[in-house]
Amino acid sequence: MINPYSAIDIAKAIGQPIDAALPVPVGMAAICELETADYGDDVYYFSAYDTNTDIIYTAGDNGEVTSNRKSPSGATALPLVGIQSDLAYVTLEEMQHVTSSVTNKDLTALGRKKAAITRSMDKQNMKELCDLILGLSGQEVTSVTADDLYTMIIKLVQKVEDYADNYILLCGSTIYNAIQTFEHDNVTTFEYRLGIQELLTNLHIKVIKMVGSVALDTTSANAAVLAATKCILVGINSSLVGGKPCLFVRRKINPEIAKQLGFPIDSAERLLTTIGGLSIINNSKNILGYGVIGYESRAIAVTNPYAIAWSDDMAL
């Protein structure tokens, strides 16, 4: 039985809030290579790309072969940045209501707080990846007045098809809904069969809807993970770097800190812990409770921008 009043036992109970089956959001898992860095390690990736024409030489009459010198690619250090959730509180009164089932952690007040903090950190990571992609120079596809959604998807594919295939289409809510109702909305104007679902199937495009919003701090307004009228096309079979064109790295927590908090020393990547044990969380009313906070150190990078295209705001 877990002692509901022990800060260390509570830290063990809520543990490392990462689902082993899905350690990152669905959209991120679809387009990112996932790596883990050991505590103290640096992370590097190659920022130079072989986009020149591939050249083949054949031996001449005398067996001579001319070669094309290739300079080494430079490695770029990838900064690992710490993110921290909002400091949330669970009152002692909330804990009292679930003491009979405290061993079933996901049904407790702490379990619900764990889920909320995990969700907020996941959404922030996904938003930062989308913002990074939307800042890629030269990869924007602009719509003109005559372009409908069908045309825009084709233009996105044409932008990246020389560098990747097998596509993921990350959609804001307006774009996603327009895909679902495209045939119905245009049925009276079709003069020939034009199916957007068939287009997605034929081009091997999987559609993922981006949902949710997140605020960077308590003074910021909520911002959508991806704007409702934007979409991002990602080729997950990259011809330049191999595999997915984005990289997400989490750094393991300092083993000494993990040991003190009761986590597995060699595996903790995200901490969710209580702060200071049982304390007064409302001085005017002397309400007792636990402060709960999440932390992780991670890096996000686009390793092959040529495999990604994104749309401007589409008027649908």
Longest dimension (CA), the chain: 94
Task: Determine contact, residues 261/310, Cβ cutoff 8 Å.
Answer: no
Q: Alpha-carbon dihedral of residues 110, 116, 121, 126, nearest 10 degrees?
A: 150
Above 90 in pLDDT, residue 47?
no
Name all domains of the chain by residue range, CATH numbers in brackets: 7-35+80-311 (3.90.1690)
Question: In the structure encoding, which two tokens stand for residue 151, read together?
Answer: 């045309």
Q: Is a pLDDT exceeding 50 seen at residue 291? A: yes
For the ranges 15-19, 134-138, 200-204, the lowest mean pLDDT is seen at: 15-19
What DSSP element (H or E) covers 164? strand 164-171
pLDDT digits (tens, 9 = 90+) for 271-286: 887 776 778 877 778 8
Burial 111-147 (b: 16+ CB within 10 A, else e): bebbeebbebbbbbbbbbbbeebbeeeebebebeeeb
105 vs 94 pLDDT, higher one: 94
- Mean pLDDT over 50-56 rounds to 59
- DSSP per-residue string spanning 26-42: HHHHHHEEEEEEPTT--
* Residue 131 amino acid letter: D
Mean pLDDT calculated for residue range 191-215: 88
pLDDT single digits (tens) 155-167: 999 999 988 989 9
